[in-house]
Amino acid sequence: MKPLISQQVVKSRIQGAEHVPGVAPKYNWTYPALVTIMREEGIAALYKGFVPKVLRLAPGGGVLLLVVEFTLGVFRQGTSFCWMAYDWWD
């Protein structure tokens, strides 16, 4: 299962934190980092990457849908496949 957008934001903050010797990082564990982000920036900060993620995944999802529908159409015909004989607009 893929992490939610908010979990990815917290993970990115933990991984991107500067590690200075002798100083505790601002974001070090998951739940304290989640609370810190919500307190300082609000709940909306947990969904900062939502739109870019959707824009990145949507074209792949569309292609997958077309491939699945095309393949199911070939199997439903019950004949051997010839791309020139396939009725694309049904």
- The pLDDT value recorded for residue 89 is 58
Q: Per-residue b/e over 42-74, b at no fewer than 16 CB within 10 Å?
A: eeeebeeeeeeeeeeeeeeeeeeeeeeeeeeee
pTM for the full predicted model: 0.55
- The pLDDT value recorded for residue 3 is 54
| Closest-CA residue to 3 (of 40, 68, 53) | 53
Q: How confident is the model at residue 13 (pLDDT cuts 50, 70, 90)?
A: confident
| H or E segment and range at residue 15 | helix 5-16
Q: What does pLDDT average to over the chain?
A: 80
How does DSSP classify residue 28? -
